[in-house]
Structure 1
Amino acid sequence: MGGSTTTYPGFPVPNPTTSYWQLPPHRIANHRTTPNLPTTTTFDYIIIGSGISGAATAYKLLRRNPSTSILMLEARSAASGASGRNGGHCRAGWWTNFKKYAEAFGEEEALKFEALEEGNVRDIAAFVREHEVECDFRAVETADLAATEAVWEEAMEVVRFREDVRRRRPDAGDLSSERKFWVGEEARERFGIEALVGAITYPGHTQNPYRLVCRMLELSLDMGLNLQTNTLVTDVSPSTTPDGARQWNVRTERGTAQGRQVVLATNAYTNALHRSLGATGFLTPSRSQVTALRPGSNATGNPALRGSAGIDDFEAGGYFFAREPGLQGEGDIIWGGGRPVSKTREMGITDDSTVHAGIAEYLHHAPGHLFGEKAWGTEGEVLRDWTGIVCYTPDTFPLVGEAPGEEGLWMSVAMNGHGSK
């Protein structure tokens, strides 16, 4: 499916920015189960990518059948992609797309998507509890905040549409059962933000996403996973064994591995490996940016910092939360967004080794602008800026399943930034 990294763009760069979550590095950051890449074994599966998609795939395959042989190849350190550098939110925040999905694909599909998203949040929470994962997982009240009448009306239109579906279809459940609506002065008092027009709150979580994924990888290592970090895959191609069976050859800079099936958990880097898919232009990589900073001098106790929040733009807006008491970095503010500052909106970029200076400047001052000078006070210290690469599709849906016409080649890619907040 390809050639060399010197002739085709889009592979992971070797020197990404270090996220807030990756300090200190996890004990398996540079893990190699075997010193040499296994090139004489044909694995049941080769998984390319060690983010949450690759880690969850390995974990579930091994839980289902512990005798399954799996080789995981990661271009950089473990969980070094978007899974290790996002904003740390875990919430069912795409309820705002319900009307759009229902109009495009039908109410049944929209309800399935809603149930899948909410189910994923519950599954992550259950996984953390079952395995006592030390990833700072906290249940919080999360909020979608609107600072303009237009955005608030857009949100209310979705709510009205979803409630109409519930009245016509009692089996659809009630979107509002766990959501509270705050309007006007009530919202401003509740969140201590004078600019608010309205707010919607519902249960969510915050976490260290890097620690979560690394623990998932550790559990798979205990079940027999062979993890090879710092091993860039440059090509994936099919072949036929002497007995007529189909297998896949996965070429790396350390040699070529063989697998009966291959899973691309490569998200924004998929175009570089699957050139024919990349040629369609269906997958669009994009760089997202996050900052960690200390709160303003007057911000202590502000109610908006007790949970997590997305602000204003119901498609690609900003988001923030404060690290809870008792955690390392207690009180640190994690703030992401700012893509509109970039002339390109950071689209088409796969280089996470640098930050956009204009977005960094915006994020450093965003809390003060939102809360207001009086409520925020003197700005706190900027602790760290970092970037991560996400991937979008025109319909916002990921590509999950076996690649058409390519038996044994599977994908779980193009998460559209969803879940990486």
Structure 2
Amino acid sequence: MSAGELVGEPVTAPPWRPLDLPPAPPVRGQVRADVAIVGAGLTGLATAHHLLRRDPSLDIVVLDATAPAGGASGRGTGLVGPRIGPPIDRARQRFGDDTARACHLASEDWVRQTVALARELEAEPGVDCGLDVAGQLVVARTDRAAADLARRADAYRRLDLDVRALPRPDGYRAALRYPVAATLDPAALTTALAADLARRGVRRHDRSPVLRAGGGLLECPGGTVRARRTVLAVNGWARTLRLPVGTVAALQLHAVATEPLSAADRAALGREAVIDATTLAPYHRLTPDGRLVMGGGPVRIPPTSRPASHRRAWDWLARRLPVQARVTHRWTGRVGYTGDALPVVGRTDESTWFAGGCCGHGLALATATGAHLAAALTGDAPTPRPWHRDRAPWLPVDGPAGTLIRGYLRVLANQAGKQPY
């Protein structure tokens, strides 16, 4: 395999094609609603979508500090795959077989729900979510990673789950194939959902950062919002609002996209997304127009990241592209991570819910989280899972201990960089 190249000044934005939404005014004065949702990303908008399915009469308002898809939902790499929390062999040890199996089956169902949502939205004229339903490969390039995948394959077999080891993975030491997966344009999906909600009467206020939240009251620079129920779908911005949800650390991830590849290169890569089993190692996928999108590599903890460090991360990715191609787009995205790799979907007070810490699984998880929150807000009692909790474990991301975490992330990136590509 030969490396790609990062030449000139690629566009510092993803190659996604969001819908042009009509502008929405910021909050001014006093606003009231039945349900207020903070965050016009996929989780917040999916919550509104499922709430209207349950009760079309609800008066819902959605606020965002920027605009729909302005955060992680518009800056991801578009992988829609199963898996949640620790690897399946560790999940068996931690939760037991029944819960580990139920969690994996739930994550496969999230993929199907997200695919169904994309197809529903694509029925509208002019909407193209770039959906491609294909499997995912998790691959190992070293003996150690291959041993990890062997343990996972054994766990999937014992739990009677449809994840299989490939007998002769081309170019890898080992590989697992996940048949329930897809890729799509995350910004197109999110903005199409925002447009659909507007047609159904959901009010939206852009450029309305929330300064304080609690007790059904949201304070914004230009006014306040009071609602009977509130959902804070702010993911890695939980610390900014000082929410009592444990540590949901904001991490800055990097990605690049190439020019459209030749037909031969596309055929060689195949339609399935490829994810390296080593932490922080690259993963890649093709877009419908033939671009190769690659993410992974060095991770930064805001606000300490600098332009030079971003450039080094993009260079790191470009050198590991599996084909020779020119990089045309490069970008970063902020995501929320927790210390145990499980999200937080729970209450901050009697009338307020929080959702975040998707740990890189946000595209598939968002649709399911929206359904869970809508059920809880309308009086149902959904089946609880390990991530339906009010707090994540504490992580020392500030001060001297934070310096140690940053050093650990550099070590992981260095280890991933030493693998053969």
CA distance in structure 1 between the aligned counterparts of 2:358 and 2:342, rounded to whole angstroms: 7
Q: Which amino acid aligns with 1:57?
A: T
Q: Secondary structure at the match of 2:76?
A: coil
1:332 aligns with 2:302: no
1:100 aligns with 2:68: no
Q: Any idea what the Cα deviations from partners look like across 1:128-153, whole Å, max 9, x if unmatched?
A: 23343520101123211111111111
- Aligned pairs (5 A) from 1:71-90: 71-90=61-80
Give the 3 Å change call, closer, same or farther, for CA 175–251 of structure 1 in structure 2: same
CA distance in structure 2 between the aligned counterparts of 1:125 and 1:414, rounded to whole angstroms: 22
1:270 aligns with 2:270: no
For 1:407, which of 350, 354, 379 is the aligned residue? Answer: 350
Q: What is the TM-score of this pair, normalised by structure 1?
A: 0.76
1:303 aligns with 2:271: no
Checking the alignment, whether the CA contact within 8 Å between 2:139 and 2:277 is kept in structure 1 is: yes
CA distance in structure 2 between the aligned counterparts of 1:94 and 1:312, rounded to whole angstroms: 14
Give the 3 Å change call, closer, same or farther, for CA 19–414 of structure 1 in structure 2: same
Q: Secondary structure at the match of 1:259?
A: strand
- Aligned pairs (5 A) from 1:150-189: 150-164=144-158, 166=159, 174-176=160-162, 179-183=163-167, 186-188=168-170
CA distance in structure 1 between the aligned counterparts of 2:306 and 2:62, rounded to whole angstroms: 22
Q: Any idea what the Cα deviations from partners look like across 1:221-279, whole Å, max 9, x if unmatched?
A: 122111111211111133xxxxxxxxx221112211211121100000011113444xx
Q: Which amino acid aligns with 2:284?
A: F
Q: Measure how far apart 1:42 and its partner are.
A: 2.3
Radius of gyration: which is bigger? 1
Tell me which residue corresponds to 2:183.
Answer: 206
Checking the alignment, whether the CA contact within 8 Å between 1:392 and 1:415 is kept in structure 2 is: yes
Q: Secondary structure at the match of 2:70?
A: coil
Q: Which amino acid aligns with 1:221?
A: A
Q: Any idea what the Cα deviations from partners look like across 1:280-327, whole Å, max 9, x if unmatched?
A: 5x22110111101137789624432432110231x4432101223xxx
CA distance in structure 2 between the aligned counterparts of 1:331 and 1:216, rounded to whole angstroms: 25
Checking the alignment, whether the CA contact within 8 Å between 1:352 and 1:389 is kept in structure 2 is: no
Checking the alignment, whether the CA contact within 8 Å between 1:400 and 1:413 is kept in structure 2 is: yes
Tell me which residue corresponds to 2:20.
Answer: 27
For 1:224, which of 191, 201, 206 is the aligned residue? Answer: 201
Checking the alignment, whether the CA contact within 8 Å between 2:121 and 2:193 is kept in structure 1 is: no
Gaps of 5+ in 1: 1-15, 167-173, 239-247, 325-329, 340-344
Give the 3 Å change call, closer, same or farther, for CA 148–299 of structure 1 in structure 2: farther
Q: Which amino acid aligns with 1:26?
A: L
CA distance in structure 1 between the aligned counterparts of 2:15 and 2:174, rounded to whole angstroms: 31
Q: Secondary structure at the match of 1:140?
A: coil
Checking the alignment, whether the CA contact within 8 Å between 2:132 and 2:182 is kept in structure 1 is: yes
Gaps of 5+ in 2: 1-10, 365-421
1:124 aligns with 2:83: no
Tell me which residue corresponds to 1:286.
Answer: 251
Q: Any idea what the Cα deviations from partners look like across 1:6-49, whole Å, max 9, x if unmatched?
A: xxxxxxxxxx963221x5x5211x631xx463644421111000
Q: Measure how far apart 1:386 and its partner are.
A: 0.4
Q: Any idea what the Cα deviations from partners look like across 1:147-182, whole Å, max 9, x if unmatched?
A: 111111101111212323x3xxxxxxx323xx4433
CA distance in structure 1 between the aligned counterparts of 2:45 and 2:114, rounded to whole angstroms: 13
Give the 3 Å change call, closer, same or farther, for CA 350–127 of structure 1 in structure 2: farther
Aligned residues: 349
1:138 aligns with 2:115: no
Tell me which residue corresponds to 1:416.
Answer: 359
Give the 3 Å change call, closer, same or farther, for CA 175–77 of structure 1 in structure 2: same
Q: Measure how far apart 1:201 and its partner are.
A: 2.2
Checking the alignment, whether the CA contact within 8 Å between 1:233 and 1:251 is kept in structure 2 is: yes
Tell me which residue corresponds to 1:13.
Answer: none
Tell me which residue corresponds to 1:258.
Answer: 226
Q: Which amino acid aligns with 1:257?
A: V
Q: Which amino acid aligns with 2:294?
A: W
Tell me which residue corresponds to 2:283.
Answer: 319
Checking the alignment, whether the CA contact within 8 Å between 1:352 and 1:387 is kept in structure 2 is: no
Checking the alignment, whether the CA contact within 8 Å between 2:14 and 2:257 is kept in structure 1 is: no
Checking the alignment, whether the CA contact within 8 Å between 1:31 and 1:227 is kept in structure 2 is: no
Q: Measure how far apart 1:333 and its partner are.
A: 0.7
Checking the alignment, whether the CA contact within 8 Å between 1:20 and 1:85 is kept in structure 2 is: no
Q: Measure how far apart 1:402 and its partner are.
A: 2.1
Tell me which residue corresponds to 2:338.
Answer: 393
Tell me which residue corresponds to 2:3.
Answer: none
Give the 3 Å change call, closer, same or farther, for CA 46–354 of structure 1 in structure 2: farther
Checking the alignment, whether the CA contact within 8 Å between 1:59 and 1:217 is kept in structure 2 is: no
Q: Any idea what the Cα deviations from partners look like across 1:362-407, whole Å, max 9, x if unmatched?
A: 111111xxx4xxxx4xx3221111001111111211111222xx11
